[in-house]
Structure 1
Amino acid sequence: MRQIALLYNPQKAEACSVRNDVTEQLERAGIGVIDVSVAHDTDIIASNSQVKTAELAIVLGGDGTLLGVARQLAPYHIPLLGINVGHLGFLTESEPSQLEPAIRRIVDGDYHLENRLMLEAFVYRDLKEVAKFTALNDAGIGKGSFARMVTLDVYVDDVYVDTYTGDGVIISTPTGSTAYSLSCGGPIVSPHLQVMLVTPVCPHTLFSRPCVIDSSSVVRLTVHARHRDVALAVDGQEGIWLQEGDEVLIRQAPYDATLVRWPDREFFDVLRNKLHNDPSSAM
């Protein structure tokens, strides 16, 4: 019997409502449903280990919910289909208004799978690893709201690139190129490319510009700040406070996130519609 995991954000009333419709349509098609409520700190596999056996996972929520789920399920190579019950829904593939045709496509196998590069970030303090994270969008080092500027030495494959003084630096994936990096002047990158972006945040110089590097590269950043209001943030959801002299190592993760995509939905169509806030972007 086919099984599909259904993950929903219980804090979103619409997600709970759509959950019932999805369950009904899948069961009517003879597909078993593995139901999991996903809060901010939910360990998905611990909540229901059957998720690992699902052919794919339907995620009801916004981009934030999908990012959190991706970080947990990517190591198990479980494809994710996002149904947007959030705001922008850039990473999601369907809207609640298009639920019936979306479920029909899943039942019929009318979709393809798209691998998205992920990052892993390590924090070293006094030569000891003190934290490790994974990211689908980005890993950013930055100052707090009212702190003074932070200075970061940036190396790529142990070759010195530059010292950035400003609000911080973002290391992002092609998926994350349309997120925080974009708002800081970074380029838009096609999601299938195997690259990473290094984007300075409000650099205090005329000459600091974003750059694109190969995904096989390793980025190392050394923190210089006399204040303690500096942190590493991963996908804008997890992180750790940093100290003077801390080193952050960022590289490609050993696995990708896998997203379910409709064959007739093009990246640049989605980009244009979503970033123009075009209501016709629902597909």
Structure 2
Amino acid sequence: MTAVQPPESTACTPADGVRRVLLAVHTGRADIIDLARTSAERLQKAGLVVRLLDDEAADLGIEGAEVVPFGPEAADGAEVVIVMGGDGTFLRAAELARATDAALTGVNLGKVGFLAETEPETVEETLSAIEQCEYSVEERLTLQVDVFDADGVWTGGTWALNEASVEKVERSRVLDVVIAIDGRPLTSFGCDGVLAATPTGSTAYAFSAGGPVVWPDVEALLLVPTNAHALFARPLVTSPESVLTVGVPADGTRARVSADGRRTVEIPLGGRVDVRRSDRPVRIARVQPRSFGDRLVAKFGLPVRGFRGGRGHAGPGQELPRARNVLLRDDTADARPRDEVPGAQA
């Protein structure tokens, strides 16, 4: 991941002198539509042009907005793509932003929203940062996925921000795969599938399959088997310059590769999938100073006060004073040693 500041000459002062923001909105909920409308009104008052996707414009009903078709040119000329929804909406918008220099920033209105930068209660701060061009940009590694037939002929390809999932088509069958790294065979096993993921996607499908959490500023590729019938089927972390290859058998077991759960490519019998780092990243606009560790704590509700802090009690009807958070140096917590807290147990 590369972090850069938006250059004043290109990001905040475009060639035609008009700053544009594309809104990508989950229009299935009334509260999200209301938030999109009030946000658009504020941006327009600040002198920015608001752009909408044609399949969302009618539901949003924002006067004075540009309307463009969904496609590679939707974000052309836009400075930022503001996503209002969950991770699914964010991944949809990433298809638009990746084709241009636009940066993505998301308002989490879904269940987890790990890709989103902002929660609903801090939307005003996000809009202010965009209006004043006070944000940084991170370039997130993406994957290039290429599919070849049994003769090595290229048959299709796609890309992914989170992960590319090689998976069986028929649920009743076991998918036998051969794994190779940089052209050298490594192992083979039967499984439900294999994930090739980015650090950004390490907290998504790969996390659910038992893969490691990787900080987004680590440049690496991940390979995570799903439900493998093997002793050596552990998640792998490789160089960002590696090529991850998953070969499938020619025995009639049908397989496909799914990119971010949005784009699929069929894998010919006896074919293979090569996954490597793409030369085109996705740009993420950061307006909050929170670290990735803080996001993990917030999204997963991780305990940071230590397991001893919740043990013991001060007697019936009394709560034990909460333990000091040694990581955050929380001066508001009770800083006394436990042996000095009445009723506390070691």
- One fold, TM greater than 0.5? yes
The match for 1:4 is 21
Q: Aligned pair 1:157/2:182, yes or no?
A: yes
C-alpha deviations, 1:18-68, integer Å up to 9, x for none?
2101111101212111122567xx96346xx46311111111221011112
- Aligned match for 1:109, one of 119, 128, 133: 133
**1:44 aligned partner:** 70
Partner residue, 2:261: 236
Contact 1:7–1:38 (CA<8 Å) still a contact in 2?
no
Q: Deviations over 1:47-101 (max 9, x none)?
A: xx46311111111221011112213321312100111222211001112332222
Greater RCO (CA < 8 Å, at least 6 residues apart): 1
Change over 3 Å in CA distance of 1:3–1:145 after alignment to 2: same
- Is 1:141 aligned to 2:166, yes or no? yes
| Mapped pair 1:17 → 2:34 | yes
In the TM superposition, 1:132-281 aligns within 5 A as 132-144=157-169, 146-224=171-249, 226-276=251-301
**SS of structure 2 residue aligned to 1:153:** strand
Structure with max Cα Rg: 2
Deviates most, 8-17 or 159-168: 8-17
SS of corresponding position for 2:28: coil
Give the AA of the match of 2:46: A
Q: Secondary structure at the match of 1:248?
A: strand
Identify which range, 215-224 or 65-74, moves more after superposition: 65-74
Contact 2:192 2:228 in 1 (8 A): yes
Instruction: Name the residue aligned to 1:83.
Output: 107
Letter in 2 for 1:44: F
SS at match of 2:218: coil
Structure 2 residue aligned with 1:32: 49
Q: What residue is the counterpart of 1:96 in the other structure?
A: 120
User: How many residue pairs get matched?
Assistant: 274
**1:52 partner SS:** coil
The answer as to whether partners of 2:36 and 2:84 remain within 8 angstroms in 1 is: yes
Amino acid at match of 1:134: W
**Which amino acid in structure 1 is aligned with residue 114 of structure 2?**
F
Q: CA deviation at 1:113?
A: 0.8
Q: Mark the CA change 1:43 to 1:133 in structure 2 (over 3 Å): closer, same or farther.
A: farther
- Deviating more after overlay: 65-74 vs 223-232: 223-232
Tell me by how many angstroms 1:247 deviates.
1.1
Q: Distance in 1 between matches of 2:290 and 2:82?
A: 18
CA contact (8 A) 1:58 1:83 kept: yes
Are the counterparts in 2 of residues 231 and 239 from structure 1 also a CA contact under 8 Å?
yes
The 2-side partners of 1:110 and 1:45 are apart by 28
Residue 146 of structure 2 aligns with which residue? Answer: 122
Q: Which amino acid aligns with 2:27?
A: P
Q: CA deviation at 1:263?
A: 4.3
C-alpha distance in structure 2 between counterparts of 1:128 and 1:251, whole Å: 17
Write the distance in 2 (CA, Å) between the matches of 1:85 and 1:235: 19
Post-superposition Cα deviations, 1:143-180, rounded to whole Å, max 9, x if no partner, equal: 24732211111111111111132111100000011011
Distance in 1, Cα, partners of 2:174 & 2:96: 33
SS for the counterpart of 1:86 is coil
Structure 1 residues 277 and 239 mapped into 2: Cα distance closer, same or farther (>3 Å)? farther
Rate the CA distance shift 1:9–1:167 in 2: closer, same or farther, 3 A: same
8 Å contact from structure 2 (residues 144, 276) kept in 1? yes
Change (3 A) 1:43 1:190: farther
The AA in structure 1 aligned to 2:122 is: Q
CA contact (8 A) 1:228 1:243 kept: no
Aligned-residue RMSD, C-alpha: 2.2
Deviation, 1:9, is 2.8
CA distance in 2, matches of 1:12, 1:254: 36
Q: Contact (CA 8 Å) 1:63, 1:90: kept in 2 or not?
A: yes
Tell me, which stretches of 5 or more residues in structure 2 are unaligned?
1-17, 57-67, 304-346
Q: Structure 1: 5+ residue runs without aligned partners?
A: 279-283
Instruction: Work out the CA distance in 2 between the residues paired with 1:52 and 1:243.
Output: 35
